[in-house]
C-alpha cells in the first residue's frame, strides 16, 4: 500500500516516500508527507498502521529534540537509529506494540551518510539501499542491479526514477506522486516531487 525507498551514496542519502494517505479504498489525501525531521541532518520515514505511525514518529522526534536541548549537541544518526530500535523493541512485547516500518536516513560529520532499515519487529540493519512496502518486492532487484557505492547524485535520482517507473508499470495500486529528499553535509534538501507518467 505504502512505499518507502532509500539510496545511500558516498556523501549523501536520497530518500523518497509516496504521498497517499488512504482509508480503506479511498485516497483521502494526495500530498501527505511521511517524512519526519528528527534533526538538521536526520530524517525518519515512517509507514504502517494508521495511528501508530504519527504517534511513534512524533514520540521519537520529540525525544531526539529533547536530547539536544538537555545535552547541547545532536544525536548522531546511528545513535538515533539505535534509540528508535530500542523503543520499538520495548513496546513490542508490551500490550501496545507499535506496528510501524521505518527508514532512518542521516548524515554524520564523522561517519558520513547512513541509511538504517527498521521493521515492526524492531530489526535494525544499516544498508546501502532499502525499501518498505509491497513496492519493495518490485524494486529491490533493480536496486541490486544498478547500485554502486560511488553513485553521483544524478545517477541516484535516475536509479530512483527507474524504480518508480517499475512501480507504475507493475504495481496494482496507483501511487501518483512521491516526495523526494536528499541529505548531505549541508542538511536536508527538498527535491522536486516525482510523478512518473505510466508507459
Partner 1 sequence: MALQDVCGFLETLDDISPCTYLPNEMGYMWRTPCEFDRDSAFHFLFPSQQCRRKNRAPTLFSSAFSSLSPHQQPFQLSHGTTTLGFIFQDGVIAAADTRASCKGLICCPISQKIMPIHSHLVVNTSGSGADCMLWERILTREMRLYQLRHHKRLSVNGAAKLLSMMLHPFKGTNVCVAATLCGWDEEQETRKTLQACMEIADVKEAMERDSSVSTILDESAQGCVKMASINKQDENLKDAHAMNPTVSHQNTKNVLSTFGSRSGPRVCYVCSDGLQLKGEIISVGSGSPYAYAVLDDGWRWGMTVDEAVALAREAVFRATHWDAYSGNNVDLFHITAHGWRRRDREDLKEEYYRERERKKKKIKEREKERQKKEGGELAEGEGDIYSVCCR
Question: Which residues form the interface with partner 1 (CB under 8 A)?
Answer: 1, 21, 23-26, 28-29, 32, 48-52, 54-55, 90-91, 94-97, 99, 120-121
Q: Which residues contact 174 (CB under 8 A, 6 or more apart)?
A: none
Q: Which is nearer to partner 1, 79 or 173 (CB)?
A: 173
Q: Is 148 helix (H, G, I), strand (E, B) or coil?
A: coil
Q: Which is nearer to partner 1, 24 or 71 (CB)?
A: 24
Q: Which is nearer to partner 1, 23 or 150 (CB)?
A: 23
Contact 34, 179 (CB under 8 A): yes
Q: Which is nearer to partner 1, 96 or 197 (CB)?
A: 96
As measured in angstroms, the least distance from the Cβ of 65 to partner 1 is 16
CA distances from 166 to 36, 143, 144 (A): 26, 11, 14
As measured in angstroms, the least distance from the Cβ of 164 to partner 1 is 22
Which DSSP string corresponds to 9-63?
-SSEEEEEEE--EEETTEEEESS---EEEEETTEEEEEEESHHHHHHHHHHHHHH
As measured in angstroms, the least distance from the Cβ of 50 to partner 1 is 4
Q: Which is nearer to partner 1, 97 or 176 (CB)?
A: 97
> Which sign, positive or negative, has the C-alpha torsion 91, 96, 97, 98?
negative
Q: What φ, ψ does residue 102 adopt, rounded to 5°?
A: -130, 150
Q: Which is nearer to partner 1, 87 or 168 (CB)?
A: 87
As measured in angstroms, the least distance from the Cβ of 120 to partner 1 is 7
CA gap 90, 84 in Å, rounded: 10
Q: Is 188 helix (H, G, I), strand (E, B) or coil?
A: strand
As measured in angstroms, the least distance from the Cβ of 192 to partner 1 is 21
Amino acid at each position: 500500500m505504502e512505499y518507502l525507498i532509500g539510496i545511500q551514496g558516498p556523501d549523501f542519502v536520497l530518500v523518497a516516500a509516496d504521498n497517499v494517505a488512504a482509508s480503506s479504498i479511498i485516497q483521502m489525501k494526495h500530498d501527505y508527507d511521511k517524512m519526519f525531521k528528527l534533526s538538521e541532518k536526520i530524517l525518519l520515514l515512517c509507514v504502517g498502521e494508521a495511528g501508530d505511525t504519527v504517534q511513534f514518529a512524533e514520540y521519537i522526534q520529540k525525544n531526539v529534540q529533547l536530547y539536544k536541548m538537555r545535552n547541547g549537541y545532536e544525536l548522531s544518526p546511528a545513535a538515533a537509529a539505535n534509540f528508535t530500535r530500542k523503543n520499538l523493541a520495548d513496546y513490542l512485547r508490551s500490550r501496545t506494540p507499535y506496528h510501524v516500518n521505518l527508514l532512518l536516513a542521516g548524515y554524520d560529520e564523522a561517519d558520513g551518510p547512513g541509511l538504517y532499515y527498521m521493521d515492526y519487529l524492531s530489526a535494525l540493519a544499516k544498508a546501502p539501499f532499502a525499501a518498505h512496502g509491497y513496492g519493495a518486492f518490485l524494486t529491490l532487484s533493480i536496486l541490486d542491479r544498478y547500485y554502486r557505492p560511488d553513485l553521483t547524485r544524478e545517477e541516484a535520482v535516475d536509479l530512483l526514477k527507474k524504480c518508480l517507473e517499475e512501480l507504475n508499470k507493475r504495481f496494482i495500486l496507483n501511487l501518483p506522486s512521491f516526495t523526494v529528499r536528499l541529505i548531505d553535509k549541508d542538511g536536508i534538501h527538498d527535491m522536486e516531487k516525482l510523478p512518473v507518467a505510466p508507459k
